[in-house]
A and B are shown apart, each in its own frame.
Chain A
């Protein structure tokens, strides 16, 4: 029987090489992130629920084997919780039909949960990064029944799933405008972020008079109101399109 000669500390310590884990390459494609983040940040919960349900419905046609494998899993409720979104996703597997819903960020009742940033989860879902690597780096945490998360990861990794396509398909005939809308929403959200940063700089200027500050603040208020109005119009447009599609 062979016994290990594997090195550890001590005499052979020099052969074990350690580095701080390099920062993971930025792999995220912009579109699915834009779709997800925009949808989850701006759209009402009810609409998100419907989109999620339609996405699962479409998976039956676009990835039938994936849906069958999800149905074959042990019956369970799995929470997928992006820590930078205001919601978590509730996936029910091991039964027909498999369902995907939306719950509050602090919802309970999961048999197992996986928590990471939305960018990390999208990378994982689309197969651009390895789940174990994320776990080793502590970029992903899991709780509850580990075998459910391992099983889900392996089932998802079997199929080349493109989240952007699936989300867009969930919009049905509105898929092309949905993509455009998502890009627009993401752009608006980015602009809001930029403006907020600008406002912060304005509020903490290296120098400047009170009158200048007042004027700049007023301009920022105007910008935010304009952006809010545009967001409202985009939401209304989407609502009309959605009602027309329904």
Chain B
């Protein structure tokens, strides 16, 4: 393999997905515990402490690091699960923890000072003073930037803050104010930021009617797909709403972020690492996406670029479409 071009940070919702990511060429894998402490708290997903220990041993044996996401926000008076998760991640030998809440960051700083801390995208640190605050008080070593910045914004932020940055390169996007989105809680009564699941599966339903598939969240129908039309998750931000007699995506279209075509720009902006979204996806997705990015990054390190890679991930995208998102900023 050539010298590292950009670090590749990959998702693992299960031990099998972790092994798949490592085998496909991840530089680091991120995962979380099987509870409300991480932002992908879906049924059947995530790790118990034994599985995490085994996963870390597998990754370390192959030169790959493991980052543990403890990136939801504790409920009032109930920080126990978050503290326990930090203790377990440290005991398992995690290379870093990905945190969002300042109380959790404070606990980690005081109780596990030697455990590297990354700032989660859920913290929504999108400007230099904000990043400086987390760095000064909690010795945060890396910031995962919100998906709201153009490449130029990223370059400026890297220059101003002088900190390692990790940016999203592929996966689901929403018009969220990262870490502050409560849209789905209005329909489900469950908070995405403290329960760890936007549009939880327990409240999602699909119904076939007159050749169309209706998708709903709670009691509200959010979309209707014609036969053969690519489908999407029923999240409120990607619902199709009727205004002025016309159904359209008012907030966000079902589409996936795909930065594979602008990796040299991100490298030039000073980015340290690329993050692949998708801990809720299967190991086949992990193998395909990680393998493709690995191939492209290695080619870029050699001064090549496999042009065919531009289109090859679109089939995995929500809604069958992809976008550069905010990296090529464009307002409606």
Interface residues of A (CB under 8 A from B): 1-12, 15-22, 24, 69, 73, 123-124, 127-133, 135-138, 141-143, 145-155, 157-160
Given known A73-B44, A130-B281, contact A143–B208 (CB-CB < 8 A): yes
Mark B residues whose CB is within 8 Å of A.
Answer: 13-17, 20, 42-45, 124, 126, 146-148, 150, 173-178, 180, 200-202, 204-208, 213, 225, 227-232, 248-249, 252-253, 255, 280-285, 288, 311, 314-326, 328-332
Closest chain B residue to A12, Cβ basis:
B330
A17-B322, A127-B282, A132-B285 are known contacts; what are 7 more A-B pairs with Cβ within 8 Å?
A: A5-B330, A6-B252, A130-B288, A143-B207, A145-B202, A150-B44, A159-B16
Instruction: Report the separation of the CA atoms of residues A152 and B314 in the bound assembly, to the nearest whole angstrom.
Output: 26
Considering the complex of A and B, which 9 residue pairs feature the smallest CB-CB distances, nearest first?
Answer: A12-B330, A154-B44, A151-B43, A4-B175, A130-B285, A147-B201, A151-B44, A150-B201, A147-B202
Docked-complex contact A155 and B44, CB < 8 angstroms: yes
Cα(A127)–Cα(B16), bound, Å = 9
The closest CB in chain A to the CB of B280 belongs to A132
Contact between B16 and A141, CB atoms less than 8 A apart: no
Cβ–Cβ contact A141 & B331, under 8 A: no
A136-B318, A137-B230, A143-B208 known; A11+B330 contact, CB < 8 A: yes
Measured CA separation A130–B315 after assembly (Å)? 11
Known pairs A138-B225, A146-B206; A15 contacts B330 (CB<8 A): yes
Tell me if B323 and A16 are in contact (CB < 8 A): yes
Q: Which residue of A is nearest B286, CB measured?
A: A130
Give the CA-CA distance A145 to B328 in the complex, in Å: 39
The complex places the Cα of A155 from the Cα of B317 at a distance, in Å, of 23
Q: List, in ascending order, chain A residues with CB within 8 A of B200's CB.
A: 147
Nearest residue, chain B, Cβ from A7: B330
Closest residue of A by beta carbon distance from B332: A10
Q: Which of A5, A10, A137, A157 lies in contact with B17, CB distance below 8 A?
A: A157
Q: Which residues of B contact A4 (CB under 8 A)?
A: 147-148, 174-177, 252, 326
Q: Which residues of A contact B201 (CB under 8 A)?
A: 146-147, 149-151
Whose C-beta in chain B lies nearest to the C-beta of A5? B326
Residue on B nearest A126 in the bound complex, by CB: B284
- Report the Cα distance A159→B14, complex, angstroms: 9
Q: How many inter-chain contacts with C-beta < 8 Å in the A-B complex?
A: 189
Expressed in whole angstroms, the Cα–Cα distance for A16 and B201 within the complex equals: 28
Instruction: Give Cα A1 to B180, complex, Å.
Output: 8
Contact B205 A146 (CB under 8 A): yes
Known A12-B328, A141-B208, A154-B42: A3·B320 in contact at CB below 8 Å? no
Q: How far is the CA of A6 from the CA of B177 in the complex (A)?
A: 11
**Nearest chain B CB to A113 CB, angstrom units:** 11
Q: Could you tell me if B146 and A2 are in contact, using CB atoms closer than 8 angstroms?
A: yes
Cβ-closest chain B residue relative to A72: B44
Docked Cα-Cα span, A12 to B17, in Å, equals: 35
7 contacts between A and B (CB under 8 A): A4-B148, A5-B148, A6-B147, A15-B330, A69-B44, A130-B281, A153-B282
Q: How far is the CB of A112 from chain B (nearest CB, A)?
A: 10
A2-B146, A12-B328, A20-B320 known; A136 and B232 CB under 8 Å? yes
Q: How far is the CA of A141 from the CA of B321 in the complex (A)?
A: 20
Is A21 within 8 A of B320, CB to CB? yes
Neighbouring B residues of A151 by C-beta, 8 Å:
42-44, 201
User: Measured between alpha carbons, how far is A158 from B16 in the docked complex, in Å?
Assistant: 5
Say yes or no: A131 contacts B175, CB within 8 Å: no
Residue of chain B at shortest CB distance from A149: B201
Contact of B177 among A1, A19, A141, A155 (CB under 8 A): A1
Query: Is A150 touching B178 in the complex (CB atoms < 8 A)?
Result: no
Does A130 lie within 8 Å of B208, measured CB to CB? no
Give the shortest distance, in Å, between B52 (CB) and chain A (any CB).
13
For the complex formed, measure the closest distance between the CB of B285 and the CB atoms of chain A, giving whole angstroms. Answer: 4
Bound Cα distance A236, B279 (Å): 48
Residues of chain A with a CB closer than 8 A to B206's CB? 141-143, 146
Selected contact of A17 from candidates B204, B285, B316, B323, CB within 8 Å = B323
